[in-house]
């Protein structure tokens, strides 16, 4: 006599996990002949046949979910599929919240920048660095200013020394066409 095991589709999501890219295998989708089974209460049963594990899950009215597919014997747990999917989404959202994206803010100079303009731009650079962002200093040469490249590099050297305790240079000043650029990152 052959036991027919039907999947227990619970939760509001139904059986649409095949279209979800972060999906997990459950019930009849688990193709390994043997699995390492963990019961709903957390008890480790050990390695048993997949058929037997499916039968235990059906007895409890829950699903057999593959939580660690790698290895000789995939780890499967008896859980409610809808609840498991909800927990996974919550974990993903929490991890996404904790991520800090680093932006690159740009501050533009000219070779003959005035002292007050320089001070305003340096205050902005400090503020960006304190917020955890990287700052790219761009010095643009127009017209005949190309013959005064030394004065332009002096402006960037001055910025580097003014931000010494707050930032570290990630990319030294280098000339690219009619622009000279330098990238600094906040010191942690």
Last-in-domain residue among 75, 98, 121: 98
* Number of Cβ atoms within 10 Å of the Cβ of 171: 13
Q: 139, exposed or middle or buried, with CB in 10 Å at 0-12, 13-18, 19+?
A: buried
Helix axes 115-130, 149-162, angle to 10 degrees: 50
Reading the chain (188 residues) residue by residue, the pLDDT tens digits are 444 444 444 444 444 444 444 577 878 888 888 888 888 888 888 888 888 888 888 888 888 888 888 878 888 888 888 888 898 899 888 888 887 777 889 999 888 889 999 999 999 999 999 888 999 999 998 888 888 888 888 888 999 899 988 889 888 888 888 899 999 999 87
Domain with residue 152: its CATH number is 3.30.110.10
Q: How far apart are CA 159 and CA 62, in angstroms?
A: 64
pTM value?
A: 0.50
Are 122 and 174 in the same domain? yes
Last-in-domain residue among 76, 98, 120: 98
The verdict on residue 55 lying in a domain is: yes
The verdict on residue 19 lying in a domain is: no
Query: Residue 69 contacts by C-beta under 8 Å, 6 or more apart in sequence?
Result: 25
The verdict on residue 3 lying in a domain is: no
The verdict on residue 14 lying in a domain is: no
Are 180 and 110 in the same domain? yes
The verdict on residue 136 lying in a domain is: yes
Domain with residue 49: its CATH number is 3.10.20.80
The verdict on residue 11 lying in a domain is: no
Q: How far apart are CA 161 and CA 108, in angstroms?
A: 17
Q: How confident is the model at residue 4, as a pLDDT?
A: 46
Q: How far apart are CA 37 and CA 32, in angstroms?
A: 12
Are 76 and 121 in the same domain? no
Q: How confident is the model at residue 137, as a pLDDT?
A: 93
The verdict on residue 66 lying in a domain is: yes
Q: How confident is the model at residue 9, as a pLDDT?
A: 47
Q: How confident is the model at residue 3, as a pLDDT?
A: 46
The verdict on residue 170 lying in a domain is: yes
Domain count of the fold of the chain: 2
Are 94 and 166 in the same domain? no
Q: How far apart are CA 41 and CA 62, in angstroms?
A: 12
Domain extent, residue 131, equals 104-186
Last-in-domain residue among 47, 65, 98: 98
Q: How confident is the model at residue 14, as a pLDDT?
A: 45
């Amino acid at each position: 006599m052959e036991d027919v095991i039907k999947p227990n589709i619970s939760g509001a999501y139904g059986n649409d996990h095949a279209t979800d890219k972060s999906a997990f295998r459950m019930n009849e989708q688990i193709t390994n002949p043997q699995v390492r089974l963990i019961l709903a209460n957390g008890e480790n049963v050990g390695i048993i046949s997949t058929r037997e594990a499916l039968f235990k899950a059906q007895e409890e009215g829950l699903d057999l979910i593959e939580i660690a597919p790698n290895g000789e014997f995939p780890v499967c747990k008896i859980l409610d599929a809808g609840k498991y999917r909800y927990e996974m989404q919550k974990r993903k959202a929490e991890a996404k919240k904790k991520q800090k994206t680093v932006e690159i803010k740009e501050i533009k100079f000219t070779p003959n920048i005035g002292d007050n303009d320089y001070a305003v731009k340096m205050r902005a650079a400090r503020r960006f660095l304190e917020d955890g962002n990287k700052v790219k200093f761009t010095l643009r040469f127009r017209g005949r200013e190309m013959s005064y490249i030394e004065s332009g590099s002096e402006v960037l050297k001055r910025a580097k020394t003014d931000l010494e305790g707050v930032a570290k240079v990630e990319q030294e000043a280098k000339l690219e066409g009619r622009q000279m650029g330098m990238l600094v990152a906040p010191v942690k």
